[in-house]
């Protein structure tokens, strides 16, 4: 698929040929009109190649992403739903898990349900079901780039417990195949608070298909305790939908490059489409792979985190629980790249993965 010349236009080439810049790219705030998603505030972002949904009332998470018209993210059987349907106890989180490109887990609990002291903590925490405030969007020229950005602040607070803020900025550029996210987590309280943050990055068909594979500098592969029979020998290969297996969760170490950046690719070589995720290993020192291969589900998840998957009590018991001191802040940066041609895939393989073959 040849790239369209207009995607590389300079500002002076655009202006005489359009009535408004939004003819080619822009951001449209909207609210869902029916079903469980009724009233859910969101932003529709278009940059010429990418189109994606930012879910303002669901933790500023990202729903479906299309690149050159190809859907890349996985949408769960739940579909889009308002946070008001969240069931916090036990595994109730799954009943409101929409999927989408990014579901944020945290901020004081991620992983398995547990009891930590006097607190009963459900699966993956609360943050993805909380609405953002101070939401805003910008469409602006920065030099020769037409930049599109959405931002918002999500508060997770409780009397006598945590007072945390997640400030998120999501940015892309006209003609680009990249989305960048910058998160800042701030402790606005007067006492230290636990910090557990996991990105549930969800990819689906047609990117996920039999013959798709994972590329990256991955070592020390081991099964999560909850799926001890995971197929470690073929961890990087995506099988067809399974009748017998619901999911496999696999822990791994991802070796960073000389700048401390980790890069992972999921590629479907039959369709010449791929997804590349890049992150800072110092911000997210742990990584897990979710293979939800059950038929009718069929998803692959990348899960970078600053914590394990067994919940806060286990993290505290094992001495790995991070804390934010009063007014301390922590920054997390990620890049999501989408590829739709063999040429793009081969170029990225050379540049980020050292000329690895698929």
pLDDT band at 2 (very low <50, low <70, confident <90, very high): low
* pLDDT confidence band for 321 (50 / 70 / 90): very high
Q: CB of 182 within 8 A of CB of 169?
A: yes
Share of the chain above pLDDT 90, in %: 94
Pick from 179, 183, 45, 32: nearest CA to 106: 183
What is the three-class DSSP state of 334?
strand
Position 101 pLDDT exceeds 80: yes
pTM of the entire predicted model: 0.97
Q: How far apart are CA 48 and CA 39, in angstroms?
A: 27
**pLDDT averaged over every residue in the chain:** 96
pLDDT in tens, 224-283: 999 999 999 999 999 999 999 999 999 999 999 999 999 999 999 999 999 999 999 999
Percent of the chain with pLDDT over 70: 98
Tell me how many helices (H) and strands (E) the chain has: 3, 23
pLDDT band at 1 (very low <50, low <70, confident <90, very high): low
Q: How confident is the model at residue 173 (pLDDT cuts 50, 70, 90)?
A: very high
The pLDDT, as a whole number, for residue 295 is 97
- 175 pLDDT more than 90: yes
Q: Looking at residue 4, what is its pLDDT?
A: 85
> CB atoms < 10 A from the CB of 163, how many?
17
């Amino acid at each position: 698929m040849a790239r369209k010349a207009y995607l590389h236009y300079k500002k002076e080439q655009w202006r005489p040929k359009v009535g408004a810049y939004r003819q080619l790219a822009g951001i449209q705030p909207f609210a869902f009109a029916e079903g469980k998603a009724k009233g859910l505030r969101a932003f529709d972002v278009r940059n010429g190649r990418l189109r994606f949904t930012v879910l303002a009332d669901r933790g500023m998470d990202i729903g479906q992403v299309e690149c050159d018209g190809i859907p890349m993210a996985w949408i769960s059987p739940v579909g889009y739903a308002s946070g008001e349907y969240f069931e916090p106890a036990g595994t109730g989180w799954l009943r409101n898990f929409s999927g989408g490109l990014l579901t944020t887990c945290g901020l004081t609990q991620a992983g398995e349900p547990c009891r930590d002291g006097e607190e009963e903590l459900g699966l993956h925490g609360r943050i993805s079901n909380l609405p953002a405030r101070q939401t805003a969007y910008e469409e602006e020229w920065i030099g020769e780039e037409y930049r599109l950005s959405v931002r918002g602040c999500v508060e997770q607070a409780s009397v006598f417990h945590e007072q945390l803020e997640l400030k998120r900025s999501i940015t892309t550029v006209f003609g680009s195949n990249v989305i960048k996210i910058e998160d800042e987590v701030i402790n606005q309280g007067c006492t230290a608070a636990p910090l557990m943050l996991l990105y549930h990055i969800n990819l689906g068909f047609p990117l996920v298909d039999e013959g798709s594979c994972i590329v990256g500098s991955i070592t020390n592969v081991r099964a999560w305790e909850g799926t001890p029979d995971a197929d470690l020998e073929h961890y990087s290969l995506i099988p067809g939908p399974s009748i017998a297996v619901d999911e496999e969760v696999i822990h791994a170490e991802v070796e960073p490059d000389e700048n401390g950046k980790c890069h992972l690719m999921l590629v479907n070589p039959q369709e010449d489409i791929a997804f590349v995720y890049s992150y800072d290993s110092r911000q997210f020192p742990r990584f897990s792979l979710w293979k939800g291969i059950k038929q009718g589900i069929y998803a692959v998840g990348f899960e970078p985190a600053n914590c394990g998957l067994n919940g806060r009590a286990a993290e505290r018991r094992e001495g790995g629980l991070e804390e934010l001191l009063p007014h301390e802040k922590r920054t997390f940066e990620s890049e999501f790249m989408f590829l739709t041609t063999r040429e793009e895939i081969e170029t990225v393989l050379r540049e980020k993965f050292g000329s690895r073959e698929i």
